[in-house]
Structure 1
Amino acid sequence: MPKPRRKENKGLPERWTAHHGAYYYYVPKGMESAWEGKKKYKLGNSLPEAYAKYAEMVDVKDKITTVGELLDRYVLEVVPTKAKATQNGNHAFIKRLRATFSETPLLPFHPQRVYQYVQARKAKVSAHREVEILSHAYTKAVEWGLIAAHPFKGEVRLEGEASRSRYVEDWEVIEFFSLDSKRKKGSVLMIQAYVKLKLLTGMSQGDLLRLQIPIHKQDDGIHIMRHKTAKKAGIRTIYAWTPALKSAWEQAVSARPCLSSFLFCNAKGKGYVNEEKGTQAGFKSMWQRYMARLLKETDLKEPFTEHDLRAKVGSDAKSLEHAMMLLSHADPRTTQKTYRRKAVLVNPLQ
């Protein structure tokens, strides 16, 4: 009987092990020559790096009989097409899925297994995201010709978590801009310019922080292709210049601590997005400090997130169609469910 896997190895592919901050592969006996003569081969220091290296060394396409093997192929072929931040989340979700379903046969897979999985997990929101990954993996299995039909699509109805409903009122925006800056450049003026652009365009954080003056500033407006969906929907948006938009852009330019191609940059002239990790740590720290000052120095009582401002743009747009265009959405259901938060005024019957 094989030894049970150590806790840190649960959720990893077969023959993988985590050791001293890195991931290794125990080479099957007799296969050492294909792995540089090693019995224990280092794959990488992170899960994305390890999977990428594993993909170079092994072809998993022709031997998929379990959910674990399906997830392996999904990691190698689908996850790398997503945004970096999404990839990081996917790797964490898939590791949890593998801990439960690694040896589960690909078929039959009954819908009850999904309900049992979610019920057993304390973190329900994460469990829902994990089920979404599992469902998409089965959708890809149909596409790849591994199975004839999705075994639980349309058969599972999970109780969804409530969408965030925080609507930022106009008076709160006024309070937001009331903070004074002791410097002619720097974080306060940069955050304020950032929010002005956000409220005028509804651009996502990632798209705003990736703006580069020589690339995105054109004669007719600000040109972007939304980064998150560039490989899928490929929606291009042009935000036409208005006096207010030009003013916000110029404020952002003048607020920079140094010359840079980026509209928003740190003291070294670098952008805030870490493309390798898909994070914006420096900017988020600035936002948190600014919000802390707001709660202490103004009449603002409830904090709001940068994403709540994107939802305010979607809510304040005069029509759903206009909101979709501002937010660069391809599906109106996403706009309606998540970004239209403003209360609707209804006249009572006479």
Structure 2
Amino acid sequence: MRAKISRELLRTAEPRKHAFDIQDTELRGFAVRVTPGGNITYCIRYRGVDGKQARKSLDRSFPATSVSDAREAARVLLGRIANGEDPAETARQKRRATMTLADFLEERYRDWLATNSQTATATEKRIRAAFCDELARPLVEFNAWIIEKWRSARVKAGKAPATINRDLAALGSLFSRALEWGLVDVHPLGTVKQFKEPDGRVRWLSDDEEDRLRAALDARETRERAARTNANKWRAARRYELLPEIDESVYVDHLKPMVLLSLNTGLRQGETFKLRWDAVDLGLAVLTVRGATAKSRRLRHIPLNDEALAMLKQWRKQTTGEFVFPGRDGSHVTEIKTAWGKLLDQAKLTDFTWHDMRHHFASRLVMSGVDLNTVRELLGHADLTMTIRYAHLAPAHKALAVAKLLRPPARPSDESVSG
């Protein structure tokens, strides 16, 4: 709609179902926007540096600002645009100068994490917790000195080097995106070196410990079956409906199958939780970890040994739905801490986490003579950097290497033989 914008016109402007503009016939580019709620705001319409139509609010509304004052403000701004100024770029630069770490997390980075990271929620929580005193700081104010000062405070607070490195890695990834998106000119962690860390922790089970873990699993199964039998006796005495009996050939719940699968495949906990039946080929005895559920985002195939295959065949008969380990809501299992903790107590195992079953899987392979590159492929490591931690468990190849230095004994000469 085009008309000369006046007080009388705006007083009689009727809202419509959708917002609409009235373009001024007196000053080219001057306009007002009328919203469905009846609000009237002044704006300008112009062509940006890219030649496309653009619209910029004057941050003024009718009747708080008179038409004549708004038209004059529009005249000034349109004059600056004619001289080469770009209001959109000015606004971006202004927002760039004031965008804080918290703003960036909420407005930009959270959505990127949700699409590109398996640990989006945990990563955001880590950044907010570790850098809580810096959330109000604009991104452009971060520099190496501020990071070093933060790190010194964390050291004084008793934080471990590994924890500090993980925190800085999370923040570094955030600033890599901010740099890529033009919100900062320099990466503030570009010159900050990570602390040296001790060699990664590798915990595996001795033969006795593994026997105790397996015995605890079997004892738990027996207890649960006995508890079901006793419960049914109690219900029968009161003529209540009986619960299904748990046959000796079936698992009482998902704990034992999950533990056996982890011990025999080295799956990460998240990969186990999210495993679907369409990724398990019982005929070929192969399990596929798809990129969507893998930490490394890499597809890998893991052969199933006899124990894992037999367990999955039985477990398949007991479950329905798409997930191998379904939760109560039809999705996958999301928590196992309570049952796992009780199992460790019953097995009298200490300093052993769920993730350590992955270490156990890799350690047993290496100690059995499997080469490190094959172990890397089974674990889904992108390179040997992480897998090399298991190298000390395979001393045989080192012994063979140094054995090559031995020179064969010299053969006696003919003269010494004849003498």
Query: 1:192 and 2:256 equivalent?
Result: yes
Change (3 A) 1:119 1:129: same
Normalized against structure 1, the TM-score is what? 0.64
Matches within 5 A, 1:103-182: 103-107=136-140, 109-121=142-154, 122=157, 124-125=159-160, 126-160=163-197, 163-179=200-216, 180=218, 181-182=221-222
Greater RCO (Cα-Cα under 8 Å, separation 6 or more):
1
Aligned twin of 1:253: 316
Aligned twin of 1:239: 302
Aligned twin of 2:324: 263
Aligned twin of 1:286: 339
Tell me the distance in 1 between the aligned counterparts of 2:298 and 2:351. Answer: 32
> Is the Cα contact below 8 Å between 2:288 and 2:299 reproduced in 1?
yes
Tell me the distance in 2 between the aligned counterparts of 1:81 and 1:92. Answer: 16
**Which one of 316, 328, 331 corresponds to residue 380 of structure 2?**
328
Give the residue type in structure 2 aligned to 1:323.
V
Aligned twin of 2:8: none
**Ranges in structure 1 where 5+ consecutive residues have no aligned partner:** 1-32, 38-59, 274-279, 296-300
Cα RMSD, aligned residues only: 3.6
Give the residue type in structure 2 aligned to 1:106.
L
Deviation at 1:239, TM superposition (A): 2.3
Structure 1 vs Structure 2: percent identity of aligned residues?
19
Deviation at 1:211, TM superposition (A): 2.5
> Is the Cα contact below 8 Å between 1:114 and 1:156 reproduced in 2?
no
Over 6 Å off, 4+ runs:
none
Query: 1:302 and 2:358 equivalent?
Result: no
Deviation at 1:83, TM superposition (A): 5.1
> Is the Cα contact below 8 Å between 1:202 and 1:309 reproduced in 2?
yes
Tell me the distance in 1 between the aligned counterparts of 2:36 and 2:268. Answer: 45
Aligned twin of 2:133: 100
Instruction: Count how many residue pairs are aligned between Structure 1 and Structure 2.
Output: 274
Tell me the distance in 1 between the aligned counterparts of 2:355 and 2:331. Answer: 19
> Is the Cα contact below 8 Å between 2:128 and 2:135 reproduced in 1?
no
Aligned twin of 2:120: 87
Give the residue type in structure 1 aligned to 2:192.
E
**Which one of 201, 204, 225 corresponds to residue 268 of structure 2?**
204
Tell me the distance in 1 between the aligned counterparts of 2:287 and 2:359. Answer: 20
**Ranges in structure 2 where 5+ consecutive residues have no aligned partner:** 1-34, 40-90, 226-247, 407-419
Aligned twin of 2:78: none
Give the residue type in structure 1 aligned to 2:166.
R
**Which one of 297, 300, 316 corresponds to residue 364 of structure 2?**
316
The structure number with the bigger radius of gyration is 2
Please list the CA deviations of residues 64-96 of structure 1 after superposition, one character each: whole Å capped at 9, or x if unmatched.
224424444453332212556x22322322323
Please list the CA deviations of residues 249-270 of structure 1 after superposition, one character each: whole Å capped at 9, or x if unmatched.
224335x4x545433345x584
Tell me the distance in 2 between the aligned counterparts of 1:259 and 1:228. Answer: 20
Give the residue type in structure 2 aligned to 1:132.
A
Q: Secondary structure at the match of 2:123?
A: helix
Please list the CA deviations of residues 253-291 of structure 1 after superposition, one character each: whole Å capped at 9, or x if unmatched.
35x4x545433345x584543xxxxxx22x222211211
Tell me the distance in 2 between the aligned counterparts of 1:271 and 1:34. Answer: 42
Q: Secondary structure at the match of 1:222?
A: strand
Change (3 A) 1:332 1:61: farther
Change (3 A) 1:264 1:153: same
